[in-house]
Amino acid sequence: MWFTIICLAIIFTIKILHSWRRPSRFPPGPRGLPIIGNIFDLKRLVDETKFHSHAWCRLADMYGPIVGLKLGMAEPLIIVSDRSAIVEMLNRAEFDGRSNGFLYRHRTGGVRRGVIFTDGDVWREQRRFTLRTLKQFGFGKITMEDIILNDAVALVNKVESMAASGPITNLHNITSIAVLNSLWTLVAGSRFELENPKLTKILSVLDDVVRNSNVTGGILTQFPLLRYIMPETTGFTILNQRTTRTWQFFKSEVTRHKQTRMHGEFRDFIDVYLMEMKAEQSKPTVSYFDEEQLISIVKDLFVAGVETTNNTIGFIITYLAVKQDVQKRVHEEIERVLGKETLPRIEHKNRLPYLNATIAEVSRLANVGPTSIPHRALANTTLLGYEIKKNYILLANFKSVHMDKKHWGDPEEFRPERFINNEGEYVEDPWLMTFSLGRRKCLGETLARNSVFLFIACLLQKFRFMLPPGHLDPILDGINGFTTAPPEINVIAIKHT
């Protein structure tokens, strides 16, 4: 018996030491400890810098553009920095996979579903169907612009009524519903009032999930078995409650459509998907269309439709409330081009270069999405000479590009003029990677760009935003999480006369 125990102990020790050993062609990085790997190294860096995105940049400074980390029992995590390395990674098909970590399965019932966190045939079919169907209802067309404008005008009216009572404390909540409505009209055929208690609660729950998670997946991805041993300490209990609550919210929307759908009538995306489900059931081949997939896609569209766009709008308002000189120039440009009554439209973008430059500069500095969503290697391969094995997880560190001194010169400075040429025209810079690159590029890029432009143009046409007297200067780095959220501030909205 003792011989067996000793043998097992030796085998276990050998396996630990083998997993700790860094292969000769594994990307450089901190050595770490057996079993837990670089968890403490990363925690120390995040504690020092306050942000995971800062930690990735610190590691790139120390080890180079390709950094390898081992975090507990999860697959190795590869941080890819520097523009040329990121462009190569995001344009190679073998890096188009998505993480299969615990959190990415748990959020959709234990199986990866939807369009954001899936890959392979499931992702291709669901993405193709989603884009085609949304376009049928106006996604990316002129009708979509009208929908966004209606929501922007509603937001302007709401801000005006709120401003009459003094500083606005919950502008982020109001803008999130306004931003969501544009896409939700196509997805679910309905709209929300800008003060909807039920929706506000769900948005708050989703915000909590995003704020309390990060792209590494955290302890539940690194040691998933701990959810059985320490569910409270690891955060699994509250995560499970939040996940269940949001799943039920989207499930009830699908159920409502099933109960009210008329034969031959298609009101929105959900109706068309339900019809496709029925058609697929009659085929002998394997179908990827089922109710769980539908709920997951609706959840993905809901979150993607509000999270980054609303955060970007929040950051723009925050920056302009602090940088009053820049806000004044934007006001003057809008006044000169549109006046006070002409609604901004997409056709006006080229005539508002300084507004476009301001949006771009805030996007560069705010880094709402400082990294790509985690990618997964689909085969054994190499990147810049380093060995990347199948199932390794890769993150594109966009912040390293947005803050690269070699390109920007003074990346720490807020200077919209860097996007303006000698002729006074706005010039897009390929070093700005707000929506990622390659086949996994954000499918809602056009909607997001148009929404940010139209919402901000409408708000700044009507209001000047200021911090209340005595308000502390906000920390413009924002709030750390899976994405970066704007700082929580109070603002005064003064209507232009």
Residues making up the annotated binding site for heme are 442
Q: Pick from 280, 256, 251, 283: which is nearest to 268 by CA?
A: 256
Kindly state the tokens that stand for 16. 């630990």
Q: List, as residue ranges, the binding site.
A: 442
Cβ atoms of 484 and 368 closer than 8 Å: yes
Kindly state the tokens that stand for 209. 């999930």
Cβ atoms of 46 and 55 closer than 8 Å: yes
CA angle 435, 326, 458 (to 5 degrees): 65
Cβ atoms of 399 and 392 closer than 8 Å: no
Tell me the one-letter amino acid at 45: L
Element (H, E) at 466: strand 463-466
Cβ neighbours around 285 below 10 Å, total: 6
Cβ atoms of 297 and 130 closer than 8 Å: yes
Cα torsion at 418, 421, 423, 426 (round to 10°)? -80
Q: Pick from 134, 434, 429, 367: which is nearest to 270 by CA?
A: 134
Cβ atoms of 247 and 299 closer than 8 Å: yes
